[in-house]
Structure 1
């Protein structure tokens, strides 16, 4: 059985959304981020990203990690692409061409969007985004994101989904990165087709099931 190390309030949502879509069995091993604990080394500390038991699985101490038989993967985008391809069906690639496109969009999200989008996400999580200063900083970040979001806007002006005219793992990988910037509404307002695509994929039962569990998770 697929084993997933992580918690819902982390990048683990990428693979957890995928398994909801696929309806496959899995075991979730709750591993919380070490920075969320007052004393991560305490004898009674929860299993966390600095726990020796977890570092034996993932020396980088990051979540998520997955184990499938003897295969261990520590990068979330590799995990989702692997699980989708192994499971097959419409959510995975139908041929080498689609596999290459899915890989390209996933890497585009990670390299061109994620770093800056996370600045908005973190400002929102801390409450700073609600302030004038936070809005001003988000506006500057949005200027940087305008270029990659422009690429998305052009694509979704002619495509309902990222690859192959259907919902796939590429939509999960891309949407879970774009979501980090979702709290800054002016960015989405400036890219309406991208906003429509994001709303479309987040309306899926698989996303809703994952998100409900995320909201219910106790840290």
Structure 2
């Protein structure tokens, strides 16, 4: 059976969302990030990314990771694509062209969206948004996102989803963009993107995994 390692408060939420959408059976092992623990080496410490048993799975000490038979993957978007192809039905590609499009959107999410979006997330999370330094970081990061958001805005103008239906592509891009979502002015100039993101996050599967995320300790 497919196994996912990682807590919901991590990039593991991406493949966990895909799995919730397609209702595929899986085993979930909630490995927490070591940096979130006071002492990740303590005997009482929760299963975490610094433990030797987990480092044997992912030497980078990051989550998520996935085992599916003999296959081991340690990149969240590659895991999402694998699950969608193998178990996802309409979430996955129905042709070689669709497979290529989904791979393109995964790379777009990882390279054009996530780096700047996560700068915004960290700045807000660390309580720096009201400082001059924090405001500068957010301003620069938001500027970096304008071009990819303009690309999304035009693409979504005539359609509801990134492909002809809701797919893993929407999950991957939406999850990377979510990191910047708390900066409310970001989407003001991109109504199609805002509409699409709201629709994706209104899906019952997302609401289920988000509730499980909220139930985990911060």
TM-score calculated relative to the size of structure 2: 0.96
Alpha carbons 2:118, 2:180 under 8 Å: kept: yes
Pair 1:110 & 2:110 matched: yes
Q: CA deviation at 1:84?
A: 0.6
* SS of corresponding position for 2:116: helix
d(CA) in 2 for partners of 1:132 and 1:166? 42
Give the number of aligned pairs: 217
Could you tell me which residue of structure 2 aligns to residue 168 of structure 1? 167
* 1:85-111 residue CA offsets vs partner (Å, 9 max, x unmatched): 001421110000000000001101101
Following superposition of structure 1 onto structure 2, how do residues 123-134 of structure 1 map, counting pairs within 5 Å? 123-129=123-129, 131=130, 133=132, 134=134
d(CA) in 1 for partners of 2:110 and 2:138? 19
Could you tell me which residue of structure 1 aligns to residue 90 of structure 2? 90
* SS of corresponding position for 1:4: strand
Pair 1:184 & 2:183 matched: yes
How much is the aligned-residue C-alpha RMSD, in angstroms?
A: 1.2
Q: Which runs of no fewer than 5 residues in structure 2 stay unpaired?
A: none
Q: CA deviation at 1:132?
A: 5.1
Q: CA deviation at 1:40?
A: 1.4
Q: CA deviation at 1:137?
A: 3.0
* 1:174-219 residue CA offsets vs partner (Å, 9 max, x unmatched): 1000101101111110111111100011000000000000001125
Could you tell me which residue of structure 1 aligns to residue 201 of structure 2? 202
Could you tell me which residue of structure 2 aligns to residue 74 of structure 1? 74
Alpha carbons 2:120, 2:141 under 8 Å: kept: yes
Following superposition of structure 1 onto structure 2, how do residues 4-153 of structure 1 map, counting pairs within 5 Å? 4-129=4-129, 131=130, 133=132, 134-153=134-153
d(CA) in 2 for partners of 1:155 and 1:80? 22
Q: Which runs of no fewer than 5 residues in structure 1 stay unpaired?
A: none
Alpha carbons 2:119, 2:137 under 8 Å: kept: no
d(CA) in 2 for partners of 1:80 and 1:209? 17
Runs of 4 or more consecutive aligned structure 1 residues displaced over 4 Å after TM superposition: none
d(CA) in 2 for partners of 1:37 and 1:77? 26
TM-score calculated relative to the size of structure 1: 0.95
d(CA) in 1 for partners of 2:151 and 2:50? 38
Question: Which has the larger displacement, 138-147 or 51-60?
Answer: 138-147
